[in-house]
Amino acid sequence: MSQVMHKVVIFWSIGALLALDECFFDGCRCVKNIDYSYDIICVNQNNSLFPKRLKSNITRTINTFLLKQYLFTEIPDGTFQGLAIRHLIIGENRLKKIGPDTFRGIKSLSLLKIIEKNFETIDLGAFDPISYYLSELGIWQINYQSHKIDEFFAELKKLKSLKTLSLMGYGLKQFKPEWTTIFESIVHLNLASNEMKSIGPDIFKSCKHIESINLNNNFMSNLSSIFRALEPVKSKLRELKLASNQISQLKDFSAFARLEALDLSNNQIKKIPTGLLKGLDKLNSLYLSSNLIRSLPDSLFSSVPALSILMLDNNYLSTVPSVRTLSNLKILDLSNQNGNLKELEDFLFERANSTCCLYLNLDANRIEKYGKKTFCSRDSGLSEIRKLDLSYQSMANMDHCLLSQLRSDMANKIEFYVTMESEISKESTVSCNCELKSFLKSLKIGFIGPCSDVAGPCNEYQQTQQCDKQFQC
């Protein structure tokens, strides 16, 4: 949904240049796309009526049709008759249901998103006109207490071409066995933001093509029971999201050999098993943010050479884990270790045979001590760090000559971003000065963030700082 919605927002912002004088629907904006299709954007916070269709014979393809913030409770039958719509997004209205003739006559609808707080059900037969083409369906916040919930799942079974299904915010506490047959064709499944404490062992038994499962923001705590449910699909999964649950104990994920993305953030995890990632040589992204982790095993990342995104922010680490074997690492987030990360030793961020440059986030820490070669690599004279984020306190405790180690042959530009904690006034940020700004300019490092703004323009300042050889990589 995000890609489609992002596109709509872009077109809306430049709509004054591209919009037609007259749209196909009253009060809406029509935008012509480069492929001669149209986006129809209908946003009206005060209108209780569904926008009136102004043209009966519309032959152009409608790429995205957005209906947002109206007060209507139903969509008139036949509204979409004869329209070739690729993506239909209905959100933040007062819609309660989809009737059997709502989609009558619609052509080639491949994506349907419904985000409605008052939505109760989809009547029997409602999906018949779109059952052949629809490949992506997302319905948020349906009323699970509705007596028609079983009818809703019966309708889902008709969507034989469905590849992506998102059922968020239903308040689902369990998943009935008879509902699971809808998963047969699903590749991407999203059951986030429900109220499930556990999932049955057979919930994914009918899944033949599943690659991505999102169970974020539920109440699950037993990873063993989750593993039992995932047993039929363990060899297929590429993405598994278990964030914002109540997981405290981990076990190794070696059975999920094809896994590329694993999200365990915002749980209650304290200890990481040494073999957690064993055998996951395809793992690209790992999210362990917002847990209670104080240390990581030395060899944790030795079996994940493909890892490019490592999120460890908002934990309690006092030392930086070795990333030497992660030659493909692009993002390392160690921000906000809750006051525990106070010292950075030499060569902490070196990556042997690095294939890419690194974004290193150390913001919201108060680092007091640095090694003379903290950002250096023993394999070359290049750190391959493209961007470094620091808090003001950490920057104030650092010898500026360490910044000369931020060098890369793989980045078009290198940036240094310094934030300022809320308790620090601009008057006390004495380290945000022209000396630092001019020094960074001499190194061809972009200085960005609030600290740079405090320093001012510094146009006539002459850089004089010289660095000792002990800081050279």
Domain boundaries, the chain: 1-146+155-162, 176-183+200-307, 310-473
Q: 350 phi and psi, to 5 degrees?
A: -70, 145
User: Which pLDDT score is estimated for 424?
Assistant: 66
* pLDDT tens digits, one per residue of 164-212: 999 998 888 888 888 999 999 999 999 999 999 999 999 999 999 999 9
Residue written as token pair 């999120």: 311
Residue written as token pair 């365990």: 264
- Which element (helix H / strand E) includes 311? strand 309-311
**Looking at domain 176-183+200-307, does it have CATH number 3.80.10.10?**
yes
Same fold? 1-146+155-162, 176-183+200-307? yes
The residues of the chain scoring below 70 in pLDDT are 1-21, 142-146, 423-428, 461, 463-464
Q: 6 phi and psi, to 5 degrees?
A: -60, -40
Given a contact cutoff of 8 angstroms between Cβ atoms, the answer to whether 275 and 300 are in contact is no
Which residue type does 438 have? S
Spatial CA neighbour of 44 closest among 21, 24, 25 = 25
Spatial CA neighbour of 326 closest among 291, 380, 285 = 285
Q: Which residues pair with 396 in a beta bridge?
A: none
* Beta strands at 239-241 and 97-98: parallel, antiparallel or unpaired: unpaired
Q: What is the CATH code of the structural domain delimited by 1-146+155-162?
A: 3.80.10
Spatial CA neighbour of 285 closest among 265, 315, 255 = 265
The b/e string for 174-189 (b: 16+ C-beta within 10 A; e otherwise) is ebeeebbebbebbbbb
Spatial CA neighbour of 352 closest among 380, 315, 333, 375 = 380
Can you list the positions of beta strands (E) in 69-135?
85-91, 97-98, 111-115, 121-122
**Separation between Cα atoms, residue 187 and residue 288, nearest integer Å:** 25
Which residue type does 229 have? A
Spatial CA neighbour of 148 closest among 170, 126, 123, 172 = 123
User: Which pLDDT score is estimated for 50?
Assistant: 94
**Separation between Cα atoms, residue 122 and residue 137, nearest integer Å:** 13
